[in-house]
Structure 1
Amino acid sequence: MSAPYASPAKKTAPSAALQAMHKLGLVRDIDLALHLPLRYEDETRITLLRNARDGDTVQIEATVTQCEVQLRPRRMLKVTVDDGTGECVLTFFSFYPSQQKSMAVGAVLRIRGEVKGGFWGRQMLHPAFKAAGGELPQALTPVYPTAAGLPQPYLRRAIASAMQRVQLPETLPPGTPPPVMNYWGENGLQPLMGLREALHFLHHPTPDVALATLEDHSHPAWQRLKAEELLAQQLSQFRAKRERALLKAPVLRVPTPEPGTLTLVEQFLQQLPFGLTGAQQRVCREIAEDMARPLPMHRLLQGDVGSGKTVVAAMSAMVCIAAGWQCALMAPTEILAEQHFGKLVGWLEPILAPLGKKVAWLSGAQKKKERAAMLALVASGEAALVVGTHAVIQQQVEFHNLALAVIDEQHRFGVAQRLALRQKLAHAGLEPHLLMMSATPIPRTLAMSYYADLDVSVIDELPPGRTPIVTKVISDSRKDEVIARIGAQVAAGRQVYWVCPLIEESEALDLSNATATHTDLSEALPGVMVGLLHSRMPTAEKKAVMELFTAGIMGVLVSTTVIEVGVDVPNASLMVIEHAERFGLSQLHQLRGRVGRGAAASACVLLYSVNDNGRLSDTGKERLRAMAETNDGFEIARRDLEIRGPGEFLGARQSGDALLRFADLERDVALLEWARELAPTMLQRYPHLADLHIQRWLGAKSEFLKA
């Protein structure tokens, strides 16, 4: 660790405060320096009561004229103060005897709070106060994000102390041009503000600053912080990619067959019941070219719902197997992993069986005897492809010669889990090839920032025969109409999904639940088999329900979001999502993609409910409007990024790679492009400055980018 950022914050706090500081990640002096205020209070001036308007938050200096505890209508402390221009009553519903004593009649106080007018005159509810005296501050008072056991006064002192100790050497290379979006002055584009100057200003801004520029992060001081943060992210991503380029990986090339025979890959393509789309062929070539190099592939395969990522994964596995190595495919849920297993066995075993090879299955729910048999197949190499859930990375799983790992819905796995899988593959000084798949298209700004260390392949074409899905947004007051529509669909031989957000009743949230909805639909649709599926059911029970639905025996499946990804039932033509306003956009899009997989016209009904005031939240409206207006996964992803921020897309990746704290990927694209352009040059020409910069912002967290 580089010296300027190695020093921990001084441990002078009581243990509770220390624990709270550690919980907030405030360990080093630089952590405290970068812990910026949520908002500010203006304690630089005294306002006369006669000049205070109703609703203003002001600071007054006044003498206590009356102080008493009232017991009706409830116990409260009432303190009347007078500043010579008017009176104000301070009300405290929660107070200590020491506070009451410090507000005795005759005491002169400095009081800050919101002034409210009323029948009984001016009032303040629970204002902050202290004894008057001393000079007024020259800067705005910061209010920091905090935690239980860490009061603002202590945090302010700790940060002020850290700011005096912390070393902030300039890490930007000499002559670095400012980003285009940096502020314009009288003489044109101004240089970036120095980091120490920017931090000092943000911790203690002068009273004449336009508060709006602090709140919307447009002030030049904020520009410096955001530019620094984005540069650290880009440096760490590019460095991780450059370090991987120095590693060795198995060279996976399909051997030339005997004259008159087909390669394993050609056999695979020949026996598929469909042809690959142009987009699938293109990404298969990109992946095959990567695996044929002696460098570890680190590629993200993204494609919209139903674009055919599984067959691309199977094709990649065949290239690996044909080269004489093993492949593993890991999925986040047992339902999705089993679906992959069923498809891959059907596609690959006819080709693998004559070679004495198999597709193995690993899951946490396997019986001991079955699991032992599968582990033996994996260890011997007889299992050319291993499909499973998190069970694939458990300690007792030993591979014979694993060279390719495919991780489906990669954002559902934590960084530590992906690192564990990579360690499974490391042998003879070789690194694995890694193919990560996502059905949530990544918006451009996310690809430029959080996925800068990956090569990205995009399937931007749907297979022929996919029918467009009509999306309807309907109030839950019309639920009976929807149930009638379900009856008509089932009578026509179609199947229906009904998705609920909760499994059982919750006192905290008045939402429909899967169990109650299953009962209601069973009663409303006599003669129709209505199934129930949720994550708490035993594995065998879940499997039996899915088999009935997949076979077309079950007409309606009531489920939680356990069917969000991968479930493929071409006969299902109607998706009903209850309390749709509570779901994220990408999740709604995934659920919608469970229908429209066959030739029948398909629909998705988004049932929404309003609050007690008869209103739908603005965020809920935005989500439902986006779903109704477009089926394009990339547009859905862009809007979801606007509404919810990058956490929705990154999922568990953030457990190692911290989300951006200050920069906004939608608003700060120009800063991001500046950082992307500067990072490679800085790594090459100024490696010491790059290391210092990464340590300042990420510390040890940059190690997780290797996943």
Structure 2
Amino acid sequence: MSAPPPAPPARKTSALQGRLAKLGIAREADLLLHLPLRYEDETRLVPIAELKPGAPVQVAGVVEHAEVTFRPRRQLVVRLRDDTGVLTLRYLNFYPSVVKQLETGARIRAFGEVRGGFWGEEMVHPRTQTLAEGSELPAALTPVYPTTAGLAQSALRKLISRALERCDLADHLPDDWRKALRLPGWERSLRHLHQPPPDASLSALDERNHPAWRRIKFDELLAQQISLRRAYAERRQHRAPSLLPSGKLAQGLLAALPFALTGAQRRAVNEIAQDLAQPHPMQRLLQGDVGSGKTIVAALAMLQAAEHGYQAALMAPTEILAEQHYRKLAGWLAPLGLQVAWLSGSQKKREREANRALLASGEALLAVGTHALIEDDVLLTRLGIAVVDEQHRFGVRQRLALREKVDGALPHMLMMSATPIPRTLAMSYMADLDVSVLDELPPGRTPIMTRLVSDARRDEVIARVRDACLEGRQAYWVCPLIEESESLQLQTAQDTFERLTAELPELKVGLVHGRLKPAEKAAVMEAFLRNEVQLLVATTVIEVGVDVPNASLMVIEHAERFGLAQLHQLRGRVGRGAAASSCVLIYAQPLSQNGRERLKAIYETTDGFEIARRDLQLRGPGEFIGARQSGAQLLRYADPDADIDLVEKAQELAARMLAEHPGTAERLLERWFGGRAELLKA
């Protein structure tokens, strides 16, 4: 009996595992779902005489001449001849082994993109292989996979080919469902994508609308929906304080407000109140456009907890935003006899300890703060509701930390976002949340006029700022960077502040950016609020939460560099008072196509949901879902916008699969996510 083959060296195996891990491949089964980016057709040869520039093709022939030349630079130039003509192969970077392979008289195949050269058609750095007698062409299109340094395409293809023979390819979609959806079988789809036959449609494969691709996308969406539904059901098994609304404190606050709630706000308040009355934790997302009034809705939810002697905490991602919330809530709630504790990283030790003591003793039922709220020494043992503003800016662990302040019953969770989430994303990524939408603005908000101005007309913009401020109004001037960057050549906040201070001596100009000490930042913002500063030069720290009704002009420097959602957020800092408001977007030429599309979208509409839809088309879902997946890309192939029909079918079938085929549902989750499905629960 022959001895077993020796095991590969441990170091080599661990190096391979490390490279595969970078691609998200932890198990052999994960290789099956590592699908090609594109395909190359090496199944046929094109005669050299029929070559056309711009297309990647394969040719075969004999090396007629090969020479290393040194003008204009060191390069290997090869003349390849077939029965129809001659093609130049050019290598600018090469090893001696390449020179040896391409010696005169060698028979080779070359694959690459043809382009027009000075001496006729040529290929630069084609992929070549030496032909042995009787060499046959491949029988399938060649897949090109996402890879990483040190992991060759050939090695990946071998690993995937082996996985196709060794791993479970069982179909987890019941046959009658699959036929009703007109989808091909699982194994057939996988094999077609990894080893497509020569007659497969390259365009259908590359554009990912081939039936095999649709099957992969559907299973991915189905696994996602099952995971979200299961997370939703599991949360309802936990206990939470049942906070029936008595309405006493809420009525007192509403009676004192100088405005009435909009219909959308009343609807959201009622939805949240019903959730808080349940004995299981609320997990609700409150989304609304800039200025739609989310803070008052959150305040009424927090009061519902306070009415029962439970604590409520509101956490915001930046100190400026958190302090705005604190000032607003303290102003509303102090007349009701409620104390609001304030916690931030910049507080002096004595002030911080005093606020911690108020919370620990239960004297303060309400807390507002930044990440400081989730530090270990902050006690919120009777937390009834946790409100997280701009929830996509927090990681999973940070949001869970608030919930983990409590032993026993879990607090209710209300997440808020001023970045409207398109319906397709809400259906796919937020299917485990209940969603309340504020889709109308409070009366009295003035429409904002948006203007696009080339940076060549900067002096006109400065003159307009001067006029507006001398009339008693205030203005923002937003810059993207603090320090000079030669690569981006952007105006810095510091440079702009110094220039505007010199050019507008009649105005008081302030500067605020992320590197200022919190106390300095707060002092500048306070001066702007009191109109002691007429023009505020700032970075994007003012993107959310800043509410100065007298500010009616927003200037955004290098607007083409900002994301669409960010431009919309910044624009929303004006138009908060009765005066007509404007947002001037200064852009630099030349504009990229993407930059042009963003500026066109922000110019044409002020509707946050329409802007969100266009932003999704331009940039994909990352900005909207933020850190929800904590770095894991849980939809690799399906596109919620383009594949909306599959999202709807997956939503419909997820509940049925959990009810009728729970074991199959579990296997489907294991296939797609392994242990990563837990990330959806936060």
Task: Give 1:178 shift.
Answer: 4.9
Task: Give 1:333 shift.
Answer: 0.4
Identity of aligned residues (%): 58
Question: Corresponding residue for 1:324?
Answer: 309
SS at match of 1:58: strand
- Pair 693,12 (structure 1): closer, same or farther in 2 beyond 3 Å: farther
Give yes or no for contact 1:16–1:150 (8 Å, CA) kept in 2.
no
Task: Give 1:499 shift.
Answer: 1.1
User: More displaced, 407-416 or 278-287?
Assistant: 278-287
Distance 1:553 1:395 in 2: 39
SS at match of 1:424: coil
User: More displaced, 375-384 or 315-324?
Assistant: 375-384
Map 1:228-377 → 2, pairs under 5 A: 228-255=219-246, 263-353=248-338, 358-377=339-358
Distance 2:265 2:363 in 1: 29
Question: Corresponding residue for 2:558?
Answer: 579
Distance 1:402 1:56 in 2: 64
Question: Corresponding residue for 2:3?
Answer: none
Give yes or no for contact 1:63–1:106 (8 Å, CA) kept in 2.
yes
Give yes or no for contact 1:415–1:656 (8 Å, CA) kept in 2.
no
Distance 1:115 1:461 in 2: 56
Task: Give 1:299 shift.
Answer: 0.6
Question: Corresponding residue for 1:570?
Answer: 549
Distance 2:118 2:603 in 1: 50
Cα displacement string for residues 125-149 of structure 1 (whole angstroms, at most 9, x for unaligned residues): 1111111132211111111111112
Map 1:602-621 → 2, pairs under 5 A: 602-611=581-590, 616-621=591-596
Task: Give 1:619 shift.
Answer: 1.8
Give yes or no for contact 2:629–2:680 (8 Å, CA) kept in 1.
no
- Pair 491,651 (structure 1): closer, same or farther in 2 beyond 3 Å: same
Given the alignment of the two structures, is residue 553 of structure 1 paired with residue 537 of structure 2, yes or no? no
2:429 to 434, 450, 461: 450
Question: Corresponding residue for 2:146?
Answer: 145
- Pair 57,276 (structure 1): closer, same or farther in 2 beyond 3 Å: closer
Task: Give 1:459 shift.
Answer: 1.5
Distance 1:347 1:512 in 2: 40
Distance 2:663 2:577 in 1: 57
SS at match of 2:676: helix
- Pair 477,606 (structure 1): closer, same or farther in 2 beyond 3 Å: same
- Pair 178,590 (structure 1): closer, same or farther in 2 beyond 3 Å: farther
Task: Give 1:224 shift.
Answer: 0.2
Question: Corresponding residue for 1:183?
Answer: none
Task: Give 1:436 shift.
Answer: 0.5
Cα displacement string for residues 529-561 of structure 1 (whole angstroms, at most 9, x for unaligned residues): 111111111111111111111111111111111
User: More displaced, 469-478 or 591-600?
Assistant: 469-478
User: More displaced, 54-63 or 300-309?
Assistant: 54-63
Cα displacement string for residues 28-60 of structure 1 (whole angstroms, at most 9, x for unaligned residues): 122211111111111111222122223332212
5+ residue gaps, structure 1, are: 1-9, 181-190, 257-262
Question: Corresponding residue for 2:202?
Answer: 211
- Pair 68,700 (structure 1): closer, same or farther in 2 beyond 3 Å: same
Task: Give 1:520 shift.
Answer: 1.6
Question: Corresponding residue for 2:5?
Answer: none
Distance 2:486 2:59 in 1: 44
- Pair 381,652 (structure 1): closer, same or farther in 2 beyond 3 Å: same
Question: Corresponding residue for 2:636?
Answer: 661
- Pair 522,242 (structure 1): closer, same or farther in 2 beyond 3 Å: same
Question: Corresponding residue for 2:360?
Answer: 379
Given the alignment of the two structures, is residue 82 of structure 1 paired with residue 81 of structure 2, yes or no? yes
- Pair 666,11 (structure 1): closer, same or farther in 2 beyond 3 Å: farther
Question: Corresponding residue for 2:679?
Answer: 704
Question: Corresponding residue for 2:386?
Answer: 405
Task: Give 1:13 shift.
Answer: 5.4
Map 1:152-191 → 2, pairs under 5 A: 152-176=153-177, 178=179, 191=182
Distance 1:500 1:11 in 2: 52
Distance 2:542 2:10 in 1: 49
SS at match of 2:614: helix
SS at match of 2:365: strand
Map 1:407-556 → 2, pairs under 5 A: 407-425=388-406, 427-428=407-408, 430-556=409-535
- Pair 553,443 (structure 1): closer, same or farther in 2 beyond 3 Å: same
Cα displacement string for residues 357-380 of structure 1 (whole angstroms, at most 9, x for unaligned residues): x21111122222222222222222
SS at match of 2:675: helix
SS at match of 1:383: coil
Task: Give 1:177 shift.
Answer: 5.1
- Pair 475,224 (structure 1): closer, same or farther in 2 beyond 3 Å: same
Distance 1:703 1:619 in 2: 35
Q: Letter of the 2:660 partner, please give it.
A: R
1:645 to 602, 613, 620: 620
SS at match of 1:473: strand
Cα displacement string for residues 433-492 of structure 1 (whole angstroms, at most 9, x for unaligned residues): 000011111111111111111111112221121111111122121111111110100010
- Pair 366,221 (structure 1): closer, same or farther in 2 beyond 3 Å: same
SS at match of 1:382: coil
Task: Give 1:418 shift.
Answer: 1.2
Give yes or no for contact 2:510–2:535 (8 Å, CA) kept in 1.
yes
Given the alignment of the two structures, is residue 624 of structure 1 paired with residue 603 of structure 2, yes or no? no
Question: Corresponding residue for 1:99?
Answer: 98
Task: Give 1:99 shift.
Answer: 1.7
Given the alignment of the two structures, is residue 692 of structure 1 paired with residue 647 of structure 2, yes or no? no
Distance 2:394 2:588 in 1: 32
Task: Give 1:669 shift.
Answer: 1.0
Q: Letter of the 2:647 partner, please give it.
A: L
Distance 2:151 2:456 in 1: 47
Cα displacement string for residues 158-206 of structure 1 (whole angstroms, at most 9, x for unaligned residues): 11122222212221134215576xxxxxxxxxx3111111111111212
Question: Corresponding residue for 1:193?
Answer: 184
Task: Give 1:336 shift.
Answer: 0.2
Cα displacement string for residues 659-695 of structure 1 (whole angstroms, at most 9, x for unaligned residues): 4211122221111111011011111111111111111
5+ residue gaps, structure 2, are: 1-8
Give yes or no for contact 2:56–2:111 (8 Å, CA) kept in 1.
yes
Question: Corresponding residue for 1:3?
Answer: none
Task: Give 1:265 shift.
Answer: 2.2
Distance 2:509 2:180 in 1: 59
Question: Corresponding residue for 1:58?
Answer: 57
RMSD: 1.7
Q: Letter of the 2:156 partner, please give it.
A: L
User: More displaced, 109-118 or 24-33?
Assistant: 109-118
SS at match of 2:337: helix
Cα displacement string for residues 574-628 of structure 1 (whole angstroms, at most 9, x for unaligned residues): 11111212212111111111000001000111111122xxxx2222222222212
Query: Please, what TM-score do these two structures have when normalized by structure 2?
Result: 0.96
SS at match of 1:115: strand
Cα displacement string for residues 226-256 of structure 1 (whole angstroms, at most 9, x for unaligned residues): 1111111111111111111111110112458
User: More displaced, 269-278 or 408-417?
Assistant: 269-278
Give yes or no for contact 1:501–1:578 (8 Å, CA) kept in 2.
yes
Distance 1:175 1:218 in 2: 22
Distance 1:174 1:39 in 2: 30
Distance 2:627 2:80 in 1: 54
